[in-house]
Structure 1
Amino acid sequence: MAQITVQWRPGGYVDLLCKYHVFIDGSKVGRIGRVEMLTISVDHGSHQVQLKLDWGTSPTVTVDLATDQTRQLYCEPGANTLTALYYAMFRHQQYIKLTPTYLRRSSAVADVPDARTHMISGRLIFSWTVPAAPDRPVSGVVSMG
């Protein structure tokens, strides 16, 4: 089975105590809170993912999955503390940002085991894990852009 993972990106104070409702193909499949992650098993093929809150939603994101493929989506409030009321009243369909990540192996990180680059909202994210000791791996993340 394929999987869709939705993860709330940390940061900010908007929706600090809220949980977003996760919908796949129009059916509610769970809720996600601040800095939480939700993984849903789905059949391979095309799926529509949307997040909702009482006063706002995210745009619908289409995810195409092959068998045994996992696609990760990041969510975060589309507004900040100064614009939250405006978004709730006038831009409620963009109140929540839902951004798919596109994992790819880069030749620049070919020498680092388990290294990946991610493109999120126009930012290049480089992450890696290397074994420092058998029981304690060292991980890191660098954001550019």
Structure 2
Amino acid sequence: MSTIVIKRSQAVWQDRTRAYTAWVDGKAVGRLEHGASLSVPVGAGEHEVQMRIDWCTSPALSVSVPVGGTVELECGPNANALLALLYITLWRHRYIWLKPATTE
């Protein structure tokens, strides 16, 4: 079995007390609290991952998971105090950023 691991950043104030819902291939697979991570078992191959909170989302991200392998992703809020109103209305499908995890 392969795995997708999603880690949520520790934002200073944005969404600190609210959970994001992780969606893989159109199905809700779990919730991420502030600073938490989630491991989702999946079959090998292409998968579409998206994060949601209320009516706001991240852009969908396509990932290729190798047989028996793991793909690590990171997510967090895009909004800041000056742009929050735009992110919850016009840019609501970009409210959360979602990207492959950086290796250090």
Task: Please give the alpha-carbon distance, in whole angstroms, between the structure 2 residues aligned to 1:32 and 1:84.
Answer: 21
Q: CA deviation at 1:12?
A: 2.1
SS at match of 1:50: strand
- 1:44 corresponding residue in structure 2: 44
The structure that is strand-richer by fraction is: 1
Query: For residue 76 of structure 1, what is the amino acid of its counterpart?
Result: G
SS at match of 2:88: helix
Task: Please give the alpha-carbon distance, in whole angstroms, between the structure 2 residues aligned to 1:81 and 1:70.
Answer: 35
- 1:26 corresponding residue in structure 2: 26
**Contact 2:75–2:98 at 8 Å: present in 1 too?**
yes
**Contact 2:7–2:73 at 8 Å: present in 1 too?**
yes
- 2:14 corresponding residue in structure 1: 14
Q: Does structure 1 residue 81 correspond to structure 2 residue 95?
A: no
SS at match of 1:90: coil
Per-residue CA distance 1:72-111 (angstroms, 9 max, x = gap): 1100001112211210011000000001126xxxxxxxxx
**TM-score scaled by length of structure 2:** 0.94
Q: Does structure 1 residue 2 correspond to structure 2 residue 21?
A: no
**Contact 2:19–2:53 at 8 Å: present in 1 too?**
yes
- 1:138 corresponding residue in structure 2: none
Task: Please give the alpha-carbon distance, in whole angstroms, between the structure 1 residues aligned to 2:54 and 2:11.
Answer: 21
1:55-134 pair list within 5 angstroms: 55-101=55-101, 118=103, 126=104
**Contact 1:21–1:53 at 8 Å: present in 2 too?**
yes
Query: For residue 8 of structure 2, what is the amino acid of its counterpart?
Result: W
SS at match of 2:68: coil
**Contact 1:8–1:75 at 8 Å: present in 2 too?**
yes
Q: CA deviation at 1:11?
A: 2.6
Query: For residue 73 of structure 1, what is the amino acid of its counterpart?
Result: L
Q: Determine which structure has greater relative contact order: mean sequence separation of CA pairs < 8 Å that are 6+ residues apart, divided by chain length.
A: 2
RMSD (Å) for aligned C-alpha atoms: 1.1
Q: Where do 5+ consecutive residues of structure 1 fail to align? A: 103-117, 119-125, 127-145
Task: Please give the alpha-carbon distance, in whole angstroms, between the structure 1 residues aligned to 2:82 and 2:2.
Answer: 39
Q: Where do 5+ consecutive residues of structure 2 fail to align? A: none
